Structure 1
Amino acid sequence: MVEHSRSSKTFSRRSLHGQIAYDIGVRIVRGDVQPGTVLPNEADLSVQFSVSRTALREAIKVLAAKGLVESRPKTGTRVRPRDEWNMLDPDLLAWQFATQPIERLAKDLFEIRQVIEPAAASMAAERATDTQREAIARAFSDMEAAPDGDASIEPDLRFHQSILAASNNEFLHPLGALIETAMATSFRITNNEPGALQISLPRHRAVRDAILAREPEAARQAMRVLLEDAVEDLRRALPHMIPTP
């Protein structure tokens, strides 16, 4: 299982109800509490966690907002089916990567990226402001200056998020924050391979150049190639992860 740093965009565990939401949420995501299960009543849970009912209710509200549970009068709080969970919720992503092997998640992650990021790169080439183009160029320069390993993750992630922002699509931009945990985890695997960063730099440079030159189709194709190569990098890092089509 791959360790990851907690995203600043995930729900705070500093509050008491945040910690309870985390504890219950991880149990659900890990499979300790199966869909359809009715959680213990409020009084029992309060005793179990040694907290007030007020803190417990706030925690349940957090989990309900993520689609993990639903509360109804007289029937109690029930765990919802997995296909009703808000899978792009940052906490849910973080909890899945913290409790499940990346092999189960990486294929779906890359399919999402292959759908979204080439289109975002094309839009960025058409719509990016000068400031946004500078942000993309700066992120790439920071990638060039970074050593292999964890130091390259932040500029790599910033490069991709800057492109989503430069699409100037109100729905694409926040998606970068939603999948931050998943992207950072995959970067941590591939970027730690010896020489991985130097190999990937020309692919990123092609995306940057196409966006700065305002060439939408070239940007789309360059991003498609970058992601196809990234899938191959991940296959090499985790040879049993993704079945070859």
Structure 2
Amino acid sequence: MSSTMSRTYAKRSLHSIVAHDLGARIVSGKLRPGDVLPTEAALSESLDVSRTALREAIKILSAKGLIESRPKTGTRVKPRSSWNLLDPDVLSWHFPDPDPAFLYSLLETRLIIEPNTAAMAAVRATPEQIKHLETAYFEMEKAEPGTEAVYITDLVFHQGILDASGNDFMKSFGMLIETALIGSFRLSSGGPKAHVKSLPDHHAVYAAISQRDPEEARSKMHGLLRRTMRELRKELGMSVEHDWDQIGL
């Protein structure tokens, strides 16, 4: 995965690289909400880029809700509530050291979305899409525990379900799921057992979809994600008990 990421980074335009640099500083808290960025001249010099590249980067960050520029007051970091957290770049800028609370919120969002997506897939998936899920599951089985193949095959499986839902909005959540899986993979200290233990849950989801049973697909995906969240709470030193039942998650 790292080689792919480096190739992608190498292909970026200069203003995209600058946007990535500044965006990562904002998301990590090095630049806090309310902070005023240095002047254009100073920032251009410190980053060793042209003012044109810097201006384009500022436009990118403004469009994502991270900053705002006003005459006389300069460019200021906006409150986190204004950020477009579902933007693929903003999600990726939370890594390599994601805030645990942010990662946990991502998993809660998955718990809201994916059980219903699995139910939709059980009804709408084409034979080709079900075959793709079968292949994705068996690739998970073959993935060597402790390697990035575990994360990659898991991602392909879940994205396959999003695709099989037949709903374009559901498909757009792929990056959110990818970010959550990357974070879980990097945080987890469960070792090979965590991957192996999850395989029956994934197979149960696949089986329910292939058998065209939406309620079973919803239930099995819900159980899979609840167990994932319990494991994450343990990793983060949080109480395993939570308010999911009160909320209805």
TM-score normalized by the length of structure 2: 0.87
Q: Which residue of 1 aligns with 2:119?
A: 122
Structure showing greater relative contact order (alpha-carbon pairs closer than 8 Å, 6 or more residues apart): 1
Question: What amino acid sits opposite 1:177 in the alignment?
Answer: M
Q: Distance in 1 between matches of 2:97 and 2:219?
A: 35
CA distance in 2 between counterparts of 1:179 and 1:80 reads 25
2:107–2:180: 8 Å Cα contact kept in structure 1? no
Match of 1:41 in 2: 39
Distance 2:185 2:193 in 1: 13
CA distance in structure 2 between the aligned counterparts of 1:228 and 1:100, rounded to whole angstroms: 20
How far apart are the structure 2 equivalents of 1:138 and 1:234?
27
One-letter amino acid of the counterpart of residue 154, structure 1: I
How far has the Cα of 1:74 moved from its partner? 3.6
Instruction: List alignment gaps of at least 5 residues for structure 1.
Output: none
Matched with 2:223 is 225
* Residue 203 (structure 1) shift: 0.6
Amino acid at match of 1:54: T
Question: Offset of 1:22 from its aligned partner?
Answer: 1.8
Counterpart amino acid of 2:173? L
Pair 1:50 & 2:54 matched: no
Counterpart Cα distance in 1 of 2:156 and 2:117: 14
- How much does 1:46 deviate? 1.4
Partner residue of 2:201? 203
- State the secondary structure of the residue aligned to 1:98: coil
Equivalence for 2:107: 110
Letter in 2 for 1:136: L
For structure 2, which runs of at least 5 residues remain unmatched after alignment?
243-249
Question: % of aligned pairs identical?
Answer: 50
Partner of 1:215: 213
Q: Deviations over 1:111-152 (max 9, x none)?
A: 101100000000000111112111111100101122212222
Whether the 8 Å CA contact 2:44–2:51 is kept in 1: the answer is yes
Aligned partner of 1:173 among 171, 174, 181: 171
The alignment of Structure 1 onto Structure 2 pairs a total of residues equal to: 238
Distance 1:60 1:220, change over 3 A: same
Report if aligned partners of 1:164, 1:173 keep a CA contact under 8 Å in 2: yes
Matching residue within 64, 67, 85 for 2:65: 67
CA drift of 1:189 comes to 4.1
Q: Is the 8 A contact 1:235 1:242 kept in 2?
A: yes
The 3-state SS of whatever aligns with 2:227 is helix
Distance 2:144 2:104 in 1: 27
Q: For residue 160 of structure 2, what is the amino acid of its counterpart?
A: S
On the 8 A contact 1:153/1:191 being kept in 2, the answer is no
For residue 241 of structure 1, report the CA deviation from its aligned partner. 4.4
Give the direction of change, closer, same or farther, for the CA distance of 1:90–1:214 in structure 2 (3 Å limit). same
Q: Secondary structure at the match of 2:96?
A: helix
Separation in 2 of the partners of 1:98 and 1:5? 12
RMSD: 2.3
Structure 2 counterpart of 1:23, one-letter code: D
Provide TM-score, normalisation by structure 1.
0.88
Deviation digits for residues 73-118 of structure 1, max 9, x if unmatched? 34322211111101112222222232444x2223211110110000
Matched, 1:140 2:116: no
CA deviation string 1:181-219 (max 9, x = no partner): 222221344485232222111111110000001110010
CA distance in structure 2 between the aligned counterparts of 1:191 and 1:31, rounded to whole angstroms: 26
